[in-house]
Structure 1
Amino acid sequence: MNTSAGEEQQVRIEALSAITLAVRDMRTSVRFYEALGFEVRHGGASEDFTSLECGPSFLNLIAQTHERIEGWGRFIVHVSDVDQIYKKALDAGLTPSHAPSDAPWGERYFHISDPDGHELSVARPLG
């Protein structure tokens, strides 16, 4: 795209390609995410790196090879049916922090922590 003198081309972020999380036990982490419906696209339970499909993006897991970085964070995934994913989690023996509820900011959601303490918010916009 050409720009005239004095005009700046506006650059914007277009999409999130992937999030990468360090994990202590790849087998346990892969089982956790598969139980929620994520699909392995590369790697797997016995590998040092695994990439799981998350809609048009990816959730990458890398075996922890360095000291743990202290901190807290949450990532949010939108799903077609929050209550069905919640039921899948319970059926797999996972423990969400609370039942699905409607939030004042316009989403139905619940939170669940993975085996390494990374928090996942499973959500769907209301309305």
Structure 2
Amino acid sequence: MNLGAFSVSLAVKDITVSKQFYEKLGFIQIGGDVEQNWCILQNGEHIIGLFQGMFEKNMLTFNPGWDQHASNLDTFVDVRDIQRYCAQQGLTLLSEVNTESSGPGSFMLEDPDGNPILIDQHR
């Protein structure tokens, strides 16, 4: 099952300091708004999201419907289908997307070590 674009979402203490650090490693901002305490940085195929005051922990993020350049895919597995599959596999969901809705939606789960995983569809 293709989960879409992959990134690491980092819970940062000071978004400006973190952004400057990752820019020194060659990352450039491709999205978000530092004034709103979030931004998305990319270096080649690698994507990092910086979020100040939004999440308690760092998390793995997958975006159904997007490729690694945040471009829309022609076909993709909808977040509701991914959620249904995860539930059928016996995985515990921490939050759920409304299965009666369509379009954007997200749900969360954790891996066995407590690492949060966000499946976040933007379209």
TM-score by length of 2: 0.42
The normalised TM-score by structure 1 is 0.40
Q: Which has the higher contact order (CA 8 A, sep 6+)?
A: 2
